[in-house]
Amino acid sequence: GLLYAMKGEIESMLTEDTPLLQEKAGVSFYRIREDIIACCGGVGKVNAAMATQLFIDLYRPDLILNVGVAGCFEDLPIGTLVLPDRFMQHDMDTSAVGDPVGLISGINMIELPADTKIADELDRVCAAANVNHRLGVIASGDQFVHTTERRVWIVSTFNASAVEMEAAAIAQVCFVNKIPFAAIRVISDEASGDVKIDYMTFVKAAAATSSDIALRWLRARA
Ligand code: ADE
């Protein structure tokens, strides 16, 4: 199962003939190949969690790969691919009642791991395709991060390499359903300053790079 957030991100995966399997609760499911279903679940943690649970209940995928773009917290050029080994939710905060910042209620975890086998395979596919990539921590939250203050806070609290709005929610749903999960995120902006200009300019190309790596990986596994 491939899980995207936005139409602009999933676009490069679809052709005119790609069958739309169904739309449920605003989430569209497409058949990409006999053994691959992709879905476009919407932006943010709630949409992502809803789409992930629907995906699992409807199609019981062997694994879920989240594909998309991210804002960068390091000195990485736009277009760099980040393969997360861990995910956290930067806006989860019950510290006022004594919890550590980022603790996810119910599962009592701050960090959710990526499936190491999938992450290793993706790492090898990126290297073989000569795609500039690095491993790192992804911080997810319901904010398009664009201020230096927020960026500095997330980096110092979670040591994150990149930020986006869904992966850690998908990781949580996969974790409780025991579905292997990994993500590919390509940098579309620097999460500060002119984010809108960078994001609008680079989102499609960045999303196409992540889909390309996903397809290469799927081909290698077929
Ligand atoms: N996705 C891409 N860029 C982002 C940013 N700066 N903040 C949150 N999600 C993003």
The pTM (predicted TM-score) of the whole model is 0.96
* Ligand 1 atom 3, closest CA: 71
Alpha carbons 131 and 109: distance in angstroms, whole number:
32
Catalytic residues: 9, 189
Q: Is the pLDDT of residue 75 over 90?
A: no
Q: Among 26-35, 69-78, 102-111, which stretch is predicted with the lowest mean pLDDT?
A: 69-78
With a 6 Å cutoff on the Cβ, whether 163 touches ligand 1 is yes
pLDDT for 98-147, tens place per residue?
Answer: 999 999 999 999 999 999 999 999 999 999 999 999 999 999 999 999 99
With a 6 Å cutoff on the Cβ, whether 78 touches ligand 1 is no
What number does the ligand 1 atom closest to the CA of 146 have?
Answer: 6
